[in-house]
Amino acid sequence: MKNHLIVAVKFTLITTLLFGIVYPLAVTGLSKLLFPKQANGSLIEKNGQVVGSRLIGQAFTSDKYFHPRPSAAGSGYDATASSGSNLGPTNQQLVDRVKQDVAKLQKENPGVPIPADLVTASGSGLDPEVSPAAAEFQIPRVAHSRGTTAEALRPLIARHTRPRQWGILGESRVNVLELNLDLDTSFPAK
């Protein structure tokens, strides 16, 4: 019995050291060596200041900016509370929230079909991207707030539209933070 206990304790210590310390340090070191930007969170800097990450959405609520998808993560885009709402399609709370968002968007852009991603949260609640259709839907509001034209904003969206990954995975998408940073540079808010 004593021998089995000693073997079990040794095995526990060795595997804890191997898989709890050595392996994570090796993977982290290798990733920082091979993919330094991604390993450090794909951070975006502007004027020497970190303004966000390409991987985590941020709440933009001003009419002068393109808005992201709704977030169910904590109080909105809280990376420490990443998750979907877990509300099913028949849950009244979800139905009421979507109806409220639809009504708001219909006032913003009457008669135009609302892209689904502007009223539905992602599984993580931290999605940094919207569909090109969702960005296009927001053009009239942003153009009006910035004192420019819709035609002037379309090339900006096109410049930030990424195709499917490797041509087959996912859908075309627009990173909202990158788009809004370029928007501030190209069409400064008045």
Domain assignments of the chain as residue spans, ordered by start:
1-40, 42-186
Measured distance CA(162)–CA(173) in Å, rounded? 5
Count other Cβ atoms within 10 Å, centred on residue 8: 10
Answer whether residue 74 shows pLDDT above 80.
no
Measured distance CA(159)–CA(153) in Å, rounded? 10
How high is the pLDDT of residue 78?
Answer: 74
Identify which has the larger pLDDT, 84 or 179. 179
- Mean per-residue pLDDT, 34-54: 82
How high is the pLDDT of residue 24?
Answer: 93
Counting residues of the chain whose pLDDT is more than 70, the rounded percentage is 99
- Locate the DSSP E strands across 19-130: 43-46, 49-53, 129-130
3 state SS of 77: coil
How high is the pLDDT of residue 86?
Answer: 76
How high is the pLDDT of residue 132?
Answer: 95
Kindly report whether the global pTM for this prediction surpasses the value 0.75.
Answer: yes
Answer whether residue 8 shows pLDDT above 90.
yes
3 state SS of 136: helix
Identify which has the larger pLDDT, 82 or 65. 65
How high is the pLDDT of residue 27?
Answer: 93
- Say if residues 105 and 123 touch (Cβ distance below 8 Å): no
